Amino acid sequence: MEKSIWLTALNVDIANRRGKNTLCEHLDIRFIEVGDNYLKATMPVNTTTKQPMGLLNGGASCALAETVGSTAANFCVDQSVLFCVGLDINANHVRAARNGLVTATARPIHLGRKSQVWGIEICNAGGQLICMSRLTMLVMEK
């Protein structure tokens, strides 16, 4: 069994409560699964998240990736003294999505004292890769 990366207690309810009154609610991002070394969330492909050509907007994909990666990052630190903020995000949009739900899975690439790097895969309902993102987080003292 793999050792958990979470330093602060994390479950789906905690992650979803953290998103109240934020962009999560506007984009209907919902956390659905917490593993020992990953966090998953879904987002619908609908009129809120599509661009004018009827495809999932790349910015919405980035918002989903940053939401899942940032949430994960903040639960990998002692929140009584530290917090994490986004420093850089990169996204490769490899397949279009026109409807349904997309699922983002964030996994750590590097968990350091001053920075973290996360890989976030966004897939369609069939498990096909839609977007691959890399998120760099800065670890800061409160």
Catalytic positions: 66
DSSP letters spanning 69-117: HHHHHHTSS-TTTEEEEEEEEEEEE-S---SSEEEEEEEEEEE-SSEEE
CB burial string 95-134: b at 16+ within 10 A, e below: eebeeebbbbbbbbeebeeeebbbbbbbbbeeeeebbbbb
Q: Is residue 81 packed enough to be buried (19+ CB in 10 Å), middle (13-18) or exposed (0-12)?
A: exposed
